[in-house]
Chains A and B, each alone.
Chain A
Amino acid sequence: MKINFKLNEKNISVDAPPMKRLLDVLREDLGLTGSKEGCGEGECGACSIMLDKQLVNSCLVPIAQCEGASILTIEGLGTEENLHPIQQAFLECGGAQCGICTPGMVMASFDLLKKNSNPTVSQIQTGLAGNLCRCTGYVKIIDSVTKAAETFK
């Protein structure tokens, strides 16, 4: 099945079985391996991406649902040479350790800050509760989001 959508600001079209997970299409068909699979069942958030301005777990989205959609992945947010302020904050505050949760965490932070540009610590805690990190205890992630919010202001 041919599916057309917008990915990181570019129009693209893929040919894939309708029930193939968006995560697999991104990783296997399109070579965008920034989104990770931590659980494959909607629990960990490592595969978080923005789909039509909504934060979703791409492991739960069949590609058929993406027809005409607009998708933003970690690859579209910033590059090593041109970091997005959230990425810059994660780098400075130690928000990434092993880094496997980081792309999803950054996307979730992006979604959070878009909805609330000045979140309290407890709003950050709730806002990121769908994204698991086993390395940081979340302290430095919360610092990163707080710092990024300051930059946004």
Chain B
Amino acid sequence: MTMQKQTFSSPIGNSVQRKEGPKKVTGRSKYIDDIEFKNCLHGTTIRSTIPRGKIKQINFAQDIPWHEFTVVTAKDIPGQNHVALITTDQPFLADTDINHAEEPILLLAHQDKILLERARQAITIDYETLPPVLSIPEAVEAQTIIWGKDNILKSYHLEKGNIDSIWSKADFIIEDTYETGAQEHVYIETNGMVALANKQDGVTIWGSMQCPYYVQKALIPLFNFTEDKIRIIQTETGGGFGGKEEYPSMLAGHAALLAWKSGKVVKMIYDRAEDMACTTKRHPSRTHHKTAVNKDGRILGLDIQFIIDGGAYATLSSVVLSRGTIHAAGPYNIDHVRIDAKAVATNSVPYGAFRGFGAPQSIFALERHLDQIARKLNLSAEEIRRRNFIRDGQKTATGQLINEGVDMESLLDRALKHTHYKQKQRQFLDDNISNTKIKKGIGLATFMHGSGFTGSGEKYLASKVGIQLDRDAKIKVLSASTEIGQGTNTIFSQIAADALNTSTEIIEIFTPDTKYVPNSGPTVASRTTMVVGKLVQSAALGIRHTLQKEGYLKPTHSEVEFRQACLNYVKNHGELTVMAEYQQPPGIHWNDQTYQGDAYGSYAWAVYVAEIQIDTTTYETKVTNFTALQEVGRVINPILAQGQIEGGVAQGIGYALYEKVNLKDGRMINANMTNYIIPTSADLPHIEVLFEEVPYAHGPQGAKGIGELPMDGPAPAILNAIAMATGLELKSIPMLPEDLMKAFYEN
């Protein structure tokens, strides 16, 4: 028998176990509220109770020992009072003007949490109230101006072909308006931060977050410190979904201000009510479609007005709007497209990033609209899509040439076959005639989702990643990309291990800490695997090449040889760090002015099918089966990838059927888990996840983005299924039983 050299099967494509899994399943992971900070103070926030007005006076009740408290108002801010993000319109603490309910005005800290809560309730504020703007129509009407000259936070205009030339040639012109509601993230770990701040050491923040460098960027002007004096450390994060993209900057700022004034470590952990009522949510939207169609189902032109409610400050609305705009025309080849998009200001708590980032809103409208068109033309839902799908060699609404080797039509065929779509449709229609109590439906949505930042975003970010062979001969991945449950740690170790031809066990992921890790950009936009993962791969290959070039490693090696090579290298030269920086793949062009060009490096493509049943006595809709078929490039870790899709679909089902943010005078009145319902295990169907894998040339091992995609499809597929079951062309979500009942009565 000959001795075989130990070789590795690549970890790519295998369900390698979650890197931090053992700690998580045993309850040993330390989230921010689990970490002990000796003698820390607890912080809390006093917020406005009105949506718009001016602060007249702050009253402190008599029976509280105020001298024991640290009190911070806008006047105590050492630097600039704005949360630096894209613009600078949002203050950390309102000084005189109140622009939304729950706006932070004053901060309090004390060692005793119970006393702190008593003190919080002992502060009252007198206001001079002003008329608020609380809806998209009011904002557009612009009777009252609350932001800029016209309440418009941002607008885009996108044009392909000449839409106005087409109306006269169309057999049909079909118009309608669609609406989507706000959605709360409900990550199970609420926002929390701990801060230390003083002149000598600067500011140190520990907390739950997606983007450490965003927090750093926001705290630099707040304290007028240089970046080396602002250190941000991510702790284990219990879910984000976009909800911990920009808001952590606000909370970190608050904790830091209290720490600065008190000279002590300050901990601020929101309870569920505060987290739900005061932090960002998904932008509500309103989309108007006017469509020119031929009688054979060919869409000649799409004229779309897409409006999102941005809330009181600009935050990320411009980029959310951008993604929503680009996705508004879907995966279809249409010659004439015009999209007018606006993000408007209202006196609502600022809306922000949420998985899908504007795309679920505009895709909901388009996919519902297509079903309506199909019914008017007496075509099936699948046929209208089939006749309009974009194919390789054709151009999207932004003029991007599609060339990914993905065929939507074959995805559709696979989904139809797999779900027995036609058969079920016939059977449900039959059943619905005989069964007056239960109505069944099946519906679909076809869509695509761009991975990574829009347009030139990735170029400007110029993300960096390092791989370090450290003094103990361990391999460490240095990046600011955070593990928030989606599997970053595991995926990065798989990519690095594959590049180094070693096992994932010897790869360690360095804690995202701005003192030590380079800025690999924010953990958003389905960019971590595709964009940052590619950098992990390049940097790891750099380590391998250095070891080879210096004669420590042969072109093929065993794990033992690899470890030995690392040890030998470190002994002779000390530690080795290789950095990789983002290079835009060749041939990508984007024009920010005309909104034309290559909007995304690549897209993920999908066909989702929902089966539902409605109880016509309670008007409850239940999703009975869900199939999610998608092309996402190479799947690096099947269990993690499935988990992303399943979780996203569950949030999409919640978005469609359960989750309603009830606002009264700009305040969320159902800010608790009893009255804001997210799906439980008993509410959800089995979610079947199917992949089609067409490797993407510029992703690590062919991978593309995956995280946001599953948020786009469920709501339209479900509402299309409800339309089939009931004959009602419903145009808004969430569709709770009371909404459905209303629709029944109105028709």
Residue ranges of A at the interface with B (Cβ–Cβ < 8 Å): 27, 31, 33-41, 43-44, 46, 73-75, 77-80, 83, 87-88, 90-103, 106, 121, 124-126, 128-142
Contacts and interface: CB of A to CB of B under 8 A. Distances in A.
30 contacts: A36-B188, A38-B673, A44-B673, A80-B26, A80-B28, A87-B25, A88-B25, A90-B25, A92-B17, A94-B15, A95-B25, A96-B24, A98-B237, A99-B20, A99-B24, A99-B25, A100-B188, A101-B188, A125-B682, A126-B681, A126-B682, A128-B681, A129-B682, A134-B241, A134-B651, A134-B678, A136-B646, A137-B646, A137-B679, A138-B680
Given A44-B673, A97-B485, A134-B678, A34 B25 contact: no
Contacts of A44: 188, 673
Given A94-B15, A134-B186, A139-B686, A41 B673 contact: yes
Nearest to A75: B27
Nearest 8 CB-CB pairings of A with B: A34-B27, A98-B485, A100-B238, A99-B24, A137-B650, A74-B27, A33-B34, A137-B646
Interface stretch (B523-531, B582-590, B635-643): B635-643
A134 B188 contact: yes
Given A98-B239, A100-B188, A40 B272 contact: yes
B233 to A, nearest CB: 18
Given A79-B26, A99-B238, 5 more contacts: A39-B272, A74-B26, A91-B22, A96-B25, A131-B681
A62 B640 CA distance: 39
A100 B239 contact: yes
Contact of A97 (B17, B31, B643, B687): B643
Contact of A135 (B34, B190, B647): B647
Interface string B720-743: 000000000000000000000000
B249 interface: no
Interface string B469-508: 0000000000000001111000000000000000000000
A58 B65 CA distance: 32
Given A36-B188, A79-B26, A135 B643 contact: yes
A111 B473 CA distance: 44
Contacts of B485: 97-99, 135
B673 A132 contact: yes
A39 to B, nearest CB: 5
Given A33-B34, A35-B27, A128-B681, A98 B189 contact: yes
Given A91-B18, A100-B189, A125-B681, A43 B673 contact: yes
A139 B241 CA distance: 18
A43 B487 CA distance: 27
A149 to B, nearest CB: 15
Given A38-B189, A139-B642, A102 B24 contact: yes
A28 to B, nearest CB: 9
B191 to A, nearest CB: 12
B31 A36 contact: yes
A115 to B, nearest CB: 16
Give the most central of A88, A99, A136: most B CB within 10 Å.
Answer: A99
Nearest to A130: B680
B437 interface: no
B26 A39 contact: no
A116 to B, nearest CB: 15
B269 to A, nearest CB: 9
Contacts of B680: 128-132, 138
Contact of A93 (B187, B272, B486, B639): B639
A98 B485 CA distance: 3
A94 B640 contact: yes
B646 A33 contact: no
Give the most central of A34, A75, A100, A135: most B CB within 10 Å.
Answer: A135
A108 B238 CA distance: 19
A36 B185 CA distance: 18
A78 B682 CA distance: 27
A138 B239 contact: no
Contact of A137 (B34, B189, B649): B649
A33 to B, nearest CB: 4
Nearest to B649: A137
Interface string B660-678: 0000000000001110001
B643 A94 contact: yes
Give the most central of A80, A88, A126, A141: most B CB within 10 Å.
Answer: A80
B643 A140 contact: yes
A94 B672 contact: no
Given A97-B486, A128-B681, A136 B25 contact: no
Contacts of B640: 94
Given A36-B189, A80-B23, A83-B26, A100 B681 contact: no
B27 A39 contact: no
Nearest to B689: A139
Contact of B239 (A135, A139, A142): A135
A31 B33 CA distance: 11
Contact of B681 (A98, A135, A141): A141
Interface in B679-719: 679-682, 684, 686-687
A133 B188 contact: yes
